[in-house]
Amino acid sequence: MTPFMTEDFLLDTEFARRLYHDYAKDQPIFDYHCHLPPQQIAEDYRFKNLYDIWLKGDHWQIAFSVNCR
């Protein structure tokens, strides 16, 4: 059975595959609007559930969900 996500997941053209694998794959990811602590990202922290990753450390998400019912 073919796995759902291969190394070429979402890379539909040969150009996209070449661009990603030859140039982008080993580059760092910069996310200037991430609410996760950099240490969790660097250590590849495994979150327990959706609450743990999405709400636990982000008071804005909780405020949004409470005020937008």
pTM: 0.47
Residue 59 has a pLDDT of 66
| pLDDT mean by block of 10 residues, the chain; 69 residues | 88 98 92 79 90 76 69
Percent of the chain with pLDDT over 90: 41
Please report the pLDDT score of residue 43 as a whole number.
Answer: 92
How many Cβ atoms are within 10 Å of 21's Cβ, its own excluded?
A: 13
Q: What is the pLDDT of residue 64?
A: 67
Query: Residue 1 gets which letter from DSSP?
Result: -
The answer to whether residues 50 and 56 touch, using CB atoms and an 8 Å cutoff, is no
- 43-62 pLDDT per residue, tens: 999 999 988 887 777 666 66
